[in-house]
Structure 1
Amino acid sequence: MLTRLESEPNEEPRIMPELCVNIDHVATVRQARRTYEPDPVQAAIEAEAGGADGITVHLREDRRHIQDADLPRIKEVVRTKLNLEMGATEEMIRIAIGLKPQLAMFVPESRQEVTTEGGLDIAGQESRIREAVARLKGAGIPVSAFIDAQERQIAAAARAGFDFCEIHTGPYAHAFHDHP
């Protein structure tokens, strides 16, 4: 979810949420079936037809769901914006620069996890991350990060030059189940 400023003439601007639909799990089903369907490209088309403000895909290093061949096909059909989630690796940076999505988001990756379980540790690798952010921004791609709700991570993200961040809300979401 992203936000944008929206207002009528002569009105105070207000922040409106934008819904970016993640189509990774459509590709997960396709990969599990070892076939060509369901097609994440069709999912992107249908999500936008249903009112999505953007499409999110995560090209993982292990290619567990979205595949390299999906990216140009998805980019071709997306009429809103394409958000490419990716690890901050040399390979992914090259792919993003070639693809030119409307947004690139750095996320942590672990081969053992089923889905992203926490935020990117920017503070622990700030110099490397800063360089990666600069390369993407130099290619005209806005860059965001998926981070934990920790002051040190937010400060490190600002120093690294991110345009904005998405906060990992897992601990907040699980608090209800932990403390009913």
Structure 2
Amino acid sequence: MMNLLINIDHVATLRNAREETFPDPVHAAARCEQAGADGVVFHLREDRRHITERDVRLLAETVTGKLDFELSTKEEVVSICCDVAPDLATLVPEQREEVTTEGGLDVAAHRQRLTTVTDRLYDAGVNQVSFFVDPVPDQIEATAAVGANCVELHTGDFAEADTEDAQRHEAERLATGAEVAHEAGLRVHAGHGLDYRNFPLFRTVVPHVAEVSIGFAVMARAILVGMDRAVGDMRATVTRSQP
């Protein structure tokens, strides 16, 4: 069965907008797991715009399923990740001016730094290291060459496609990427912009996906129907879409 991990960054975004102590992303993570999520995703950004180091350490203590720590290669954040040793570390690009992560890592251009960070993460006890990349064969092959054992395919272009033909074209690009990753021995993850409506097409076309990370769509729905139902509906969508 495909793993469903829920990203709880936007709970922290809401909390920080009013400089409050609530809603607490740690409490939200527990509710996500109780509602059927296989684990939790968070991104500790250099600018701390949502998740904080306090959140990270409490999440590491309380999440009972899989914990996915998204991070850049900045030294401070890498050190924190090594200290808490999550189940999965996903290296992502990060720019201060972006609203959310835009596009995948250029693995080929940053091979030396990524190799160093990957080795440090393994040495710290992180069992799975993933790179967030666009579905480009050269980038996926570079991911394997650098030493990651997973790859997360960036599904943003698929999610943002504005016509049925365009969306199917992007799904086929993802399918090619997944095949390349599978042949390279990488565990295939996917995320960014997946939601209740586009997931069935994604799952029908894209093979070998063991795990998906979904955040904004679930949190947006939770505002209207509650966390339990929003996560449960996404769990049901993922389960129904599996062959």
% identical aligned pairs: 47
Deviations 1:111-164 (A, max 9, x none): 111011100111111111111101101112021111011111001101111111
**Over aligned residue pairs, what C-alpha RMSD do you find?**
1.3
Report the equivalent of 1:155.
141
Residue of structure 2 equivalent to 1:128 = 113
Which residue does 1:11 correspond to in 2?
none
Give unmatched runs, 5+ long, in structure 1. Answer: 1-15
Structure 2 residue aligned with 1:95 = 80
Question: Which TM-score applies when normalising by structure 1?
Answer: 0.88
TM-superposed deviation, 1:173? 2.1
Equivalent residue for 1:84?
Answer: 69
Written as runs of structure 1 = structure 2, the 5 A alignment for 1:1-180 is 16-141=1-126, 142-177=128-163
Q: Secondary structure at the match of 1:130?
A: helix
Name the SS for the 1:153 alignment partner: helix
Deviation per residue, 1:39-81 (Å, 9 max, x gap): 0011011000001101101000000000011111111110111
User: What is the CA-CA distance between 1:107 and the residue it aligns to?
Assistant: 0.5
Q: Which whole-Å CA distance do the structure 1 matches of 2:76 and 2:113 have between them?
A: 14
Q: Which structure dedicates a bigger proportion of its chain to helix?
A: 2
Q: Separation in 2 of the partners of 1:176 and 1:99?
A: 40
Q: Distance between the aligned counterparts of 1:179 and 1:114, measured in 2? A: 27
Structure 2 distance, partners of 1:20, 1:86, is 16
Go from structure 1 to structure 2 and tell me whether the alpha carbon gap of 1:75 and 1:172 turns closer, same or farther (over 3 Å shift). same
**1:3 aligned residue:** none
Runs of 4+ in 1 over 4 A off after TM superposition: none
Q: Name the aligned partner's letter for residue 38 of structure 1.
A: P
Matched residues in 1 for 2:27 and 2:159: separation? 30
SS at match of 1:94: helix
Hey, what's the Cα distance between the residues in 1 that align with 2:6 and 2:142?
27
